[in-house]
Amino acid sequence: MIYYFVPDITIFGGIKVAYQFVDALNLLGVPAVIASPQGKAATWFLSHAAVVDATAAREMFRTEDIAVFSLPHDYESLRKLPGRVFYHCMGTDPLIDPILKDPSVEVLTCWKQAQEYVLSHGVNRPLNVGISISPSFSYAGEPKYEQAVAYMPRRGRELCESVMNTCSSVRYIKIDGMAENEVARVMKSCSIFLATAENEWYGLPALEAMSAGCVVVSVPVRGGMEYLHDGINCRVAGLLEYAGVVAEILSPESMLLRFRLRQNAIATSKTYACSHMINRISRLLNGPLSSWRLC
Amino acid sequence: MNTLCAIIVSRGLDEMLRFCLKSFFESADQLYESVEVIIADNASPRPYTESSLSERRIRVLRFDVQTRFAVACNRCVKECETKKLIFLNNDVFLDRSSLNKMLQNSCRAGIGVVGSWLYFPDGRVQHRGVVFGHGDIGPYHLNRGQFLDPRSPFEEYQAVTGACLMVNRSLFNQLGGFNESYQFGLEDIDFCLRVRQHGYRVLCANAGRPMHFESFTPGRVELDGPSRQLFLEHWRGKYTIDG
């Protein structure tokens, strides 16, 4: 059995990616469950992963079982378990360096920058299992308000406020504490998405916004640069120029640019469809992760 | 030794039960495997007798007092030694191909439970799998009451209905059978969730066009409320949302 240990059920991208990964494994016939404190399930996005109590999972853990985790804090306790331990790398904070140095911990990554980081830290053969966007974000031509801007104030609030001061005539829709389907509905109805979190590792919301047909204006994001291509499928702007770039994108003269960026954004997001991730994992299960089918 | 045992908890409704058994044996005739049936006579006003059912492969286990579905099923399982079990409601009429298709799926590695698409007599979908909604919505039958055809041989769900549910006897026993706290209803969903917690998959197969009249037994629907309450007490916040 594969136990994917998660710290809680809060609205945090890493939680969703964990469930997404377990869903993909289940779909491919691999027995995997989420191990969560008190067996609580995250319910803010769609999933059909089974959830078990993390404490019970630790107690019944056998040598043939596999533990997967993504939160560095779990490392100390999980490395003592008798089975194999995999670190699912979703960020490249130096906090993870001791994990990467431990040869008994195998490493999975989700994107190119993380892959490069772990390789540069001496990890042997890390496996990129990919990341995907929920189909609920897939834009199917729903009506959009051309002058509506979606934003997530949780990180980068000041930048959002500076945009609001610069472009005061447009409508701003705050995304905060919403379930995934509600986020998708908002994004599909908006023209622009502000990705303002400077310290984001990857920025899954920006990719989801692309899938929902938004023009994304993003600050540079470490891992996210694999899908953010300035002037091609989005605008990438530093803090000082950010509000000006948003104002330019919102201007009537930029209508064609918005159309072009939106089309390219949707095309980019298609390469992160669930089916792609499942194919990628399937290939790994037929190769380096073949033992996972037997656990 | 027989391979498959059907367990049918039934109360009265003699004609309904007769057709249920007829359809079961017609479907079983398409198998190489041998089958048997245990009927839990759940305090029928006029007790069933093995002779009245005129089929040597049927055994009747009589409960003089009306007994919870889970208790009756668990008791019947103790009476059989087959590798596979199928729980059937007495108002489910299988298709000739049903058992074969369910068994095929059930024999695959990692499969814990196999259910089947079920249809109302007018052709609308009664069951194609159970999905889970937010809060008090909880578990519900996906696409119930719609005219719909399956697009694939099977689909994976968190749960399927116990009206037609196939499982390995060893797995059933390993999990302690159905939870006997439930009065009537949702013990099947509780069971499927536990199956998945142990890493097994729950499938709903396109197994012909079996029919399900649904909740025909008198007094059955009244027991849904307490069961639902108990289910939510046990499981609220512990299942993912897929509906």
Give the sheet arrangement for strand A84-89, strand by strand.
Answer: A51-53, A32-36, A2-5, A66-69, A84-89, A105-109, A127-128
Sequence-separated contacts (24+) of A22-28 with Cβ below 8 Å: A22/A47, A22/A49, A23/A47, A23/A48, A23/A49, A24/A132, A24/A274, A24/A277, A24/A278, A24/A281, A25/A281, A25/A292, A26/B156, A26/B201, A27/A278, A27/B156, A28/A278, A28/A281, A28/A282, A28/A285
- pLDDT above 70: percentage of residues in chain A: 100
Contacts of B47 (CB under 8 A, 6+ apart): B41, B60, B62
Tell me the pTM: 0.90
Is the separation of the CB atoms in A89 and A70 below 8 Å? yes
- Enter the tokens of residue A22: 């377990």
Pick from A181, A185, A225: which is nearest to A203 by CA? A225
d(CA B62, CA B44): 9
- Pairing label, strands A145-151, A171-174: parallel
Q: Do B197 and A40 touch (CB under 8 A)?
A: no
- Pairing label, strands B111-116, B164-168: antiparallel
Is the separation of the CB atoms in B182 and B69 below 8 Å? yes
pLDDT band at A62; cut points 50, 70, 90: very high
Query: Is the predicted pLDDT of residue B221 greater than 60, yes or no?
Result: no
For an interface test with B, which of A33, A36, A46, A48 has the most B Cβ atoms less than 10 Å from its Cβ? Answer: A48
**Minimal-distance CA residue of chain B relative to A40:** B238
- All residues of chain A having their beta carbon less than 8 Å from the beta carbon of residue B196 are 33, 50
- Identify the three-state secondary structure at position A125: coil
To the nearest 10°, report the CA torsion of A133, A139, A145, A151: 0
Q: What is the pLDDT of residue B70?
A: 97
d(CA B92, CA B164): 7
Pick from B10, B71, B16, B7: which is nearest to B35 by CA? B7
In angstroms, the Cα distances linking A58 to A62, A151, A258, A279, B168 are: 9, 39, 50, 30, 27
- The verdict on B63 touching A (C-beta cutoff 8 Å) is no
Phi and psi at A72, nearest 5°, equal -55, -30
| pLDDT 10s digits, B92-132 | 999 999 999 999 999 998 999 999 999 999 999 999 999 99
Q: Do A31 and B239 touch (CB under 8 A)?
A: no
To the nearest 10°, report the CA torsion of A93, A53, B241, A135: 30
d(CA B14, CA B18): 6
Q: What is the pLDDT of residue B218?
A: 59
| pLDDT 10s digits, B124-159 | 999 999 999 988 888 999 999 999 999 999 999 999
Bridge partners of B141? B130
Compute the mean pLDDT over every residue in chain B, rounded to the nearest whole number: 93
In angstroms, the Cα distances linking A217 to A237, A250, A273, B23, B115 are: 7, 11, 21, 62, 48
In angstroms, the Cα distances linking A90 to A18, A113, A199 are: 10, 10, 13
pLDDT band at B219; cut points 50, 70, 90: low
Q: What is the pLDDT of residue B223?
A: 62
**Minimal-distance CA residue of chain B relative to A42:** B240
Q: What is the pLDDT of residue B54?
A: 77
Query: Is the predicted pLDDT of residue A115 greater than 70, yes or no?
Result: yes
Residues 71-130 of B with CB under 8 A from A: 109-110
Question: Which domains, from first to last, does chain B contain?
Answer: 4-235 (3.90.550.10)
CA A85 to chain centre: 22
| pLDDT 10s digits, A120-167 | 999 988 999 999 999 999 999 999 998 999 999 988 899 999 999 999
**Minimal-distance CA residue of chain B relative to A293:** B110
What's chain B look like in SS3?
Answer: CCCEEEEEEECCCHHHHHHHHHHHHHHHCCCCCCEEEEEEEECCCCCCCHHHHCCCCEEEEEECCCCCHHHHHHHHHHCCCCCEEEEEECCEECCCCHHHHHHHHHCCCCEEEEEECEECCCCCEEECCEEEECHHHEEEECCCCCCCCCCCCEEEECECCCCEEEEEHHHHHHCCCCCCCCCCCCHHHHHHHHHHHCCCEEEEECCCCCEECCCCCCCCHHHHHHHHHHHHHHHCCCCCECC
- All residues of chain B having their beta carbon less than 8 Å from the beta carbon of residue A25 are none
Q: What is the pLDDT of residue A13?
A: 80
CA neighbours closer than 13 Å in the CB half-sphere of residue A199 = 6
- The verdict on A141 touching B (C-beta cutoff 8 Å) is no
Is the separation of the CB atoms in B42 and B66 below 8 Å? yes
* Nearest CA-CA distance, residue A9 and chain B, Å: 10
Q: Do A51 and B199 touch (CB under 8 A)?
A: no
In angstroms, the Cα distances linking B67 to A5, B21, B178, B207 are: 40, 21, 13, 30
Q: What is the pLDDT of residue B22?
A: 95
Amino acid letter for position A159: L
Tell the burial category of B136 from Cβ atoms under 10 Å away from its Cβ (0-12, 13-18, 19+).
exposed
| pLDDT 10s digits, A210-261 | 999 999 999 999 888 999 999 999 999 999 999 999 999 999 999 999 999 9
Contacts of A250 (CB under 8 A, 6+ apart): A147, A149, A167, A170, A191, A192
- Enter the tokens of residue A153: 């104030």
Pick from A240, A93, A227, A101: which is nearest to A166 by CA? A240
| pLDDT 10s digits, B58-80 | 999 999 999 999 999 999 999 99
Amino acid letter for position A232: I
